[in-house]
Structures are given as structure tokens and as C-alpha cells.
Amino acid sequence: MNTRTRVAAVAAAATLSMIATAASATVNPISVDEALDPGGSITITKTVSTPELPPQPDIVLLVDRTGSMTSAIAGVKANMASIISTVSASQPEAQWAVASYCDVGEPDPFLLHSDLTDDTAATVAAVNGITLCSGGDEAEEQLNALWEIGDGGDAVAFRPDSSRIVVWFGDAPGRDPSLGHTLADATASLTDAEARVVAISVGVDNLDSTGQATAITTATSGTLLSGVGADEVSAAIVEGLSNLPVQVAGAPDCDDGLTVTLDPASQTVTSGEDAVFEETITAAADAPQGTTLTCETEFTLNGADAGAGFTQSISIWINDVTPPTVSCEPGPNPSGNMPGSTNSGFYQMFSTDNVDAAVDIYIHDLGSSAIFGPYATGTTFKLTQAPGATPSVVPFHRAVDWKVKLNGDALLVATDAAGNTASAECEVPPQD
């Protein structure tokens, strides 16, 4: 995002307080606990609230230290401790580096006063140590300074997972080429370092008079603040840091059998705004039934770990939708007849289930409303039919567990813990 805005003429101290407390930065809902059938899915609206400042910022303050910047630099020196405190309140892991540039005729057209550090006193001392130089002609050597800070010069030791930001303020255009480095060179050096630029044009908009600041902030997804008064630079530094684009993306890590997709896969919002996704959670057709599958989706900001509150947990119970099996098989006959002979009437009931270790079996009398049970798989029984009599089940003897008397045939019914039901019929043999 590249914006050209006029910083309001307000006291720097008041503006510096606008992000003094950390923004509420979370994923909502932070957890999902649902049940799905195999092959089923659910879609949830997911809101990621971004912080006003990007996470783990590595901030390089790049200062035009030519003579015309006297008042602006003095204001930043007076407010630097407050600027650092304000940023740290929102992002405690922030680190600062301080650099400056001058004109080609000076002994040190680029200076790194201090590399990245979280030591406030060291950073304030580095800013206070900036001394003015002669600007010579109007054009200055900022393109070389920007090249030095980026991946080309590698003057700043950025942390591996940091949000890299260059806050650059000045009041004059840049020489091109600058000590051998062109606008294209400086831009490439910054983008290769994944650094974004907050450009602050002090006074009349000379910093961008040749379009360099616009080109650089556009290419680096930064921001340009124009027409900033010398006494407003401190406030503009904080404003620029808190109005940067932030790319929000989710990285799901799921158990086998569970997938999570986000629509869109990523999106860019202004820091402090919400990114809204449609999250679809899908159970595979062969997902293991009767189990809980989990997934964690870590949301990143500009590709970096966003810290606590940005990892969503998902717990999905996979419904048991498969009915048990139940069968009525020929059973042992204590009289010695072969099991399953046409008139023996001896049976054995069996049941299995894909989830439950054991499923109870009930005997339904198809000639009446009588139901008996439950019985365990493997139960043996003698089945007789007596129309009009009172159905009953009594213990039997030897290898047969029960003697069952019904009005009609027997229907074996097995129901698992999920409520899935299966049945099998046992027909009473005809009398000889």
C-alpha cells in the first residue's frame, strides 16, 4: 500500500500515545470443536485481528542529516525515548537501528550509527550522536543509503523472522545514481531484504519531487507521508509504523483424514484491521470413525510467527456412521445332532462393530411385542415357537445358554453406541 497523507498538526506527545497499549490481536473463534460424518465438511467465518504494529519489528531509522534538517532532527532527538517506548508497548520484541546519509562531498555520505538492538539507551544515544553535515547541492545520497541498508549492502543485521521496516525522513530528492547505485538498485536491495519503507517527506514535498519515494514505498508495500512539518516528524514516525500493510495467512497442520482450507488463502490489510476468512474443515471419506482428529492453524503476519493468540485449535469428532454386523448361525446341539440341522432349533448369535468392542444383541419376537436381552456376541440358544403362549427365555444346559420360546420367529437386533442398528432373522425350524 502506498498512501500520501498530510500528518495533522498536533502535538507530538499526544500522537505518540495513540498506540501506547497493545492492540487486541487474536483469532476468532480461537478454537473449533465439532463433529462430522466421514466425507462431511463445515465452513466457519474466521476473523484475524491484526496488531497496530507488525510483529517482531526490526526498525531502521534513516535520517537525512544535512543542515536543512536541523529542526526535524532536534525534534526526533527530544522524542526518541518516547517513540521507542510507544512501539515497545505494542511490540515488546521491537529492535532499532540508526543510520544517516549526507551528500557526496562529505567524508561519510552513509553512516550506521548503531545496529539493531533492544537497548533503548543505546538507540537514544545513537540518535543524539547524529551531527549535521553540508548538503551541498539539493540532491542527497539516500539511494546509496537505502541500498546499504538492504540486501545489497547488508549493513544491518536483520533477525531471521523479523518484520523489516525502514523509517526514512528527509527534505530533498536523491542523486541517481548515488555512489554507483541507482533507484532500481536501491529498490531491489530493499525488496530482497523483505524490508518495507515508511518515507516521511519533511516540509515542502521535495523528498518525492522526482518520484523516488513513491517508487520505493510502492515497491516495498510501504507508506509515504508528505508535507510533514519539522516538529511533526516524531508523530509521523509512529503514524507510519502503525499504518503499514500486513499480509495475513494461515498454515494448517492436521491429522491424516482432516483438511482445512482458507478462502482466500491469504489477504493483506492495514495493520490494526481485521482479516476475514471462510474456513472449510473437511473430513476424508475414509476418516477413522469414532475418533477425534485435530488440526492447528497458525496464522502468520507478513510470513512471521505472530505469537500468542494467533494459533487456532480444531478438534473434530468423526461420527460412527457404519452399522454393526449381526448374524444368526447354527449352534451346538446337546443331543448330538449336527449343528444347523433342519429341525435342531439351536443357534448362536454374533455381532461386531467397527468402533465398539462389544455390541449387545436383543431378541425380538416377530409374533408378539416381546423383546429379550441384552446378550453378548457368541451366546447360544434353543429356539422354539409356541403361537399364543407367553414368550419366555429361561436358562438351558450344557453348551446352550438359553431356551427361547416365542410366538413367531426371532429377530436379532444389534445397536452400537452411535445408534446404528442392524438385524438378522432366526427362523424356527418346522416340526417333523
Contact 361, 414 (CB under 8 A): yes
At which residue does the C-alpha cell 541498508 appear?
Answer: 149
Contact 202, 69 (CB under 8 A): yes
C-alpha cell at 174: 536523491
Tell me which DSSP letter residue 14 carries. Answer: H
C-alpha cell at 293: 482428529
Whether residues 33 and 111 fall in one domain: no
Q: Report yes or no on 126 lying in a domain.
A: yes
Whether residues 140 and 250 fall in one domain: no
Rounded distance between C-alpha atoms, residue 297 and residue 306, angstroms: 12
Contact 95, 116 (CB under 8 A): yes
Q: Report yes or no on 144 lying in a domain.
A: yes
The residue range of the domain holding 124 is 4-22+53-245
Rounded distance between C-alpha atoms, residue 383 and residue 372, angstroms: 13
Provide the residue type at 397 as one letter: H
Q: What is the CATH number of the domain that holds 205?
A: 3.40.50.410
pLDDT (0 to 100) of residue 56: 87
Contact 342, 323 (CB under 8 A): no
Q: Report yes or no on 432 lying in a domain.
A: no
DSSP codes joined into one string, 375-423: E-TT-EEEEEE-TTSPPEEEE--TT--EEEEESS-EEEEEE-TT--EEE
Last residue of a domain, one of 272, 298, 318: 318
Rounded distance between C-alpha atoms, residue 121 and residue 430, angstroms: 102
Rounded distance between C-alpha atoms, residue 72 and residue 32, angstroms: 51
Whether residues 178 and 253 fall in one domain: no
Contact 356, 324 (CB under 8 A): yes
Whether residues 154 and 302 fall in one domain: no
Rounded distance between C-alpha atoms, residue 160 and residue 333, angstroms: 78
Whether residues 76 and 214 fall in one domain: yes
Q: Report yes or no on 312 lying in a domain.
A: yes
Whether residues 91 and 236 fall in one domain: yes
Give the CA diameter of the chain.
125
The Cα angle at residue 231 between residues 168 and 176, in degrees rounded to 5? 30
Whether residues 235 and 290 fall in one domain: no
Provide the residue type at 147 as one letter: W
Q: Report yes or no on 102 lying in a domain.
A: yes
Whether residues 185 and 215 fall in one domain: yes
Q: What is the CATH number of the domain that holds 252?
A: 2.60.40.2310
Whether residues 135 and 201 fall in one domain: yes
What is the mean pLDDT of each successive set of 10 residues along the chain, which is 432 residues long? Answer: 38 43 68 98 96 90 96 98 94 96 89 98 98 82 98 96 94 95 98 97 93 97 95 96 91 97 95 95 98 96 82 97 97 70 79 96 97 97 94 94 96 97 88 52
Rounded distance between C-alpha atoms, residue 399 and residue 331, angstroms: 9
Q: Report yes or no on 254 lying in a domain.
A: yes
Contact 144, 108 (CB under 8 A): no
Cα pseudo-dihedral 154, 302, 272, 278, rounded to 10 = 170
Last residue of a domain, one of 212, 245, 278: 245
Contact 62, 240 (CB under 8 A): no
Last residue of a domain, one of 318, 342, 376: 318
The Cα angle at residue 254 between residues 253 and 258, in degrees rounded to 5? 145
Whether residues 76 and 218 fall in one domain: yes
Number of H helices, E strands in the chain: 7, 26
Give the sign of the dihedral formed by CA 134, CA 75, CA 126, CA 156.
negative
pLDDT (0 to 100) of residue 46: 96
If one counts the domains in the chain, the total is 3
Provide the residue type at 240 as one letter: G
Cis peptide before 264 (omega within 30 of 0): yes
Q: Report yes or no on 199 lying in a domain.
A: yes
C-alpha cell at 149: 541498508
Contact 213, 199 (CB under 8 A): yes
308 Cβ contact list (under 8 Å, min separation 6): none
Q: In this structure, how many other beta carbons lie within 10 angstroms of the beta carbon of residue 170?
A: 28
302 Cβ contact list (under 8 Å, min separation 6): 54, 55, 163, 194, 246, 247
DSSP codes joined into one string, 331-359: ---TTSPPTT-TTT-EEEEEEE-SS-S--
Q: Report yes or no on 431 lying in a domain.
A: no
Whether residues 207 and 168 fall in one domain: yes
Give the sign of the dihedral formed by CA 149, CA 159, CA 15, CA 272.
positive
Cis peptide before 330 (omega within 30 of 0): no
Whether residues 281 and 361 fall in one domain: no
